[in-house]
């Protein structure tokens, strides 16, 4: 019989392997949307905070989390959504930022803002965006919106490569 502490530690380890459906180079844990894992008498509860309220990937993430927990033999499990305080890009781990850069997406810098419960989400502007391929800050924004609402499209004027930038919020 596995102890409650070992079960929780294993659940966190398993969640390290659940990829974000929109950016599969980073896990949902590295993205910072896994807020907590709790042990209850009737199973595990995984607490998630979506990147934004209307995120279309929320249902896919919930299903992927539950499937991973079940496949590891840690079930039964359920997911609960905690929307306050709102998710912020400050919750992306250092490892997640490194993986975003290696995937070709410029990671957001720290906003320094800690959202209060019920506080509105705000987009934080950063003047110099470094190219994830060559590191140059000689870049320009091509579009405020990339493949998803949380990313913008940029081009490096040094290496001429286009790239996405994960907007800090």
Q: Which fold has domain 4-81?
A: GMP Synthetase; Chain A, domain 3 (3.30.300)
Largest Cα span, the chain: 58
Is-contact 100 26, C-beta < 8 A?
A: yes
Is-contact 62 28, C-beta < 8 A?
A: no
pLDDT category, 123, cuts 50, 70, 90? Answer: low
**Where in the chain are all domains bearing CATH 3.30.300.130?**
4-81
Q: Which of 62, 55, 61 is nearest to 86 (CA)?
A: 55
d(CA 2, CA 19): 26
pLDDT tens for 1-29 read 677 788 999 999 999 999 999 999 999 99
d(CA 41, CA 89): 33
Q: Which two tokens stand for residue 45?
A: 């509860």
SS3 content of the chain, % helix, strand, coil (to 5): 25, 20, 50
The answer to whether residue 146 scores a pLDDT higher than 90 is: no
The model carries a pTM of: 0.81
Average pLDDT over residues 112-141: 73
């Amino acid at each position: 019989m596995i102890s409650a502490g070992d079960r929780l530690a294993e659940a966190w380890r398993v969640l390290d392997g659940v990829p974000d459906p929109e950016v599969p180079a980073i896990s949902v844990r590295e993205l910072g949307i896994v807020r907590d894992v709790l042990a209850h008498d009737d199973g595990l509860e995984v607490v998630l905070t979506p990147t934004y309220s209307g995120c279309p990937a929320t249902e896919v993430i919930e299903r992927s989390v539950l499937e991973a927990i079940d496949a590891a033999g840690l079930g039964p499990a359920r997911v609960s959504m905690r929307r306050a305080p709102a998710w912020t890009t400050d919750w992306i781990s250092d490892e997640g930022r490194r993986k975003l850069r290696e995937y070709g997406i410029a990671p957001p810098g720290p906003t320094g803002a800690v959202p209060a419960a019920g506080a509105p989400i705000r987009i934080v502007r950063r003047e110099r965006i470094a190219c994830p391929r060559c590191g140059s800050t000689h870049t320009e924004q091509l579009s405020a919106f990339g493949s998803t609402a949380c990313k913008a499209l940029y081009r490096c004027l040094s290496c001429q490569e286009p790239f996405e930038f994960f907007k800090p919020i």
